[in-house]
Amino acid sequence: MTLSLENKVALVTGGSRGIGRAIALELAAHGAAVVVNYNKSPESAEEVVKQIQASGGRAAAFQADVSDFKQAEALVKFAIETFGDLGILVNNAGITRDQLIMMMPEADWDAVINTNLKSTFNCSKAAVKHMMRKRVGRIINIASVAGQMGNPGQTNYSASKGGQIAFTKALAREIAARNITVNAIAPGFVDTEILDAMTPEVLEAALKMVPLGRKGKPEEIAYAAAFLASDESAYITGQVLGVDGGMAMM
């Protein structure tokens, strides 16, 4: 059976780069119309849209700072008005501001919590209103292995991702009766711009924690997202799918 997202409409926050970009392209490859959200990268977002359209798909870009509730509402409204529906929400927008807690500015804590966790609340709240009326939907939160294991120098990031995981489970219980599933993906070390900030020595040490012994690819996260967005995953909700090379075996 070929996984199909034909006649589905998806919204990917932070969809212009890295994991978000890979997810947007993968959902479109399976037939979904995709809204590519960005905050500060219009050129990258438009490149994703053009790539989808060149392959015969439907896509549109929309600027919004999803840590702001009104902007998140406007983003969801745009998706529904542009493509007539919204059945798949991927909460992927995220940042890091790494620092040991003794030296971490309050502003860095707030920025990470707001961008990574509050945005998940903002977009989900806006999207759920529509999904509940339609009595169907898929919400996929891109968390992190840091939210499961913790990571030194990342108390803010780990807290935001652990919060996403708890949010996933709570919301899944709230809206399951309306045929809306809510799941999380917890990537490990994935080959994106975030890893570029690590020195080769630090990265080498980090990869020793990965049983499979390598970095993940953004496309490998995207494959998991496409499955969780599909009808084939209809009996899966409240779960955390680790795509981490075995780092956080439970």
Active-site amino acid positions: 157
Smallest Cα–Cα separation from 183: which of 233, 130, 148?
A: 233
60 near 71, Cβ under 8 Å? no
Smallest Cα–Cα separation from 31: which of 52, 13, 4?
A: 4
Residue 245 Cα distances to 210, 242, 249, angstroms: 6, 8, 9
Please give the distance of CA 117 from its chain centroid, rounded to a whole number.
11
Query: In the structure encoding, which two tokens stand for residue 46, read together?
Result: 């438009």
**Is 56 strand, coil or helix?**
coil
